[in-house]
Amino acid sequence: MPKLNFYDTDAVKAFTLDVLVEGVETRRDLDFERRQSAAAWETAREQRTRADKADAAIAAAISTLSNLLEARKMASKSAGVTLTGSSLTPWTF
């Protein structure tokens, strides 16, 4: 820190102005960083929510498909038909 001659009022004014400007710049930088951090956390939270919803939709689809496969197997057993891997494709009726 430079030595300050307190009898030189212009030097004191300049020093005080520099300190005030530095404080404003620091505050502005801090506010920017806080906004960026909050935005990043919000984005992460939104992505987590979307991922959870997608996981739930996938689980529901797998459950539905499993139920349909079981129903199809039961129907084929009652009809006396043996299902093979190729006959389990969705477009085979």
Helix (H, G, I), strand (E, B) or coil at 91: coil
Cβ-based burial of 76 (10 A; exposed 0-12, middle 13-18, buried ≥19): middle
Question: What's the token pair of residue 64?
Answer: 């539905």
- Interval 62-71: pLDDT, tens: 999 998 988 8
Q: pTM (2 decimals)?
A: 0.52
Tens of pLDDT, residues 12-37: 888 899 999 999 999 999 999 999 99
Of the CA atoms within 13 Å of residue 22, those in its CB half-sphere come to: 6
More confident residue, 3 or 43: 43
Q: CA–CA separation, 56 vs 45, rounded Å?
A: 17
Identity of the amino acid at 17? L
Tokens of 62: 């797998």
How far apart (Å, rounded) are the C-alpha atoms in residues 1 and 51?
Answer: 53
Per-residue pLDDT at 43 exceeds 90: yes
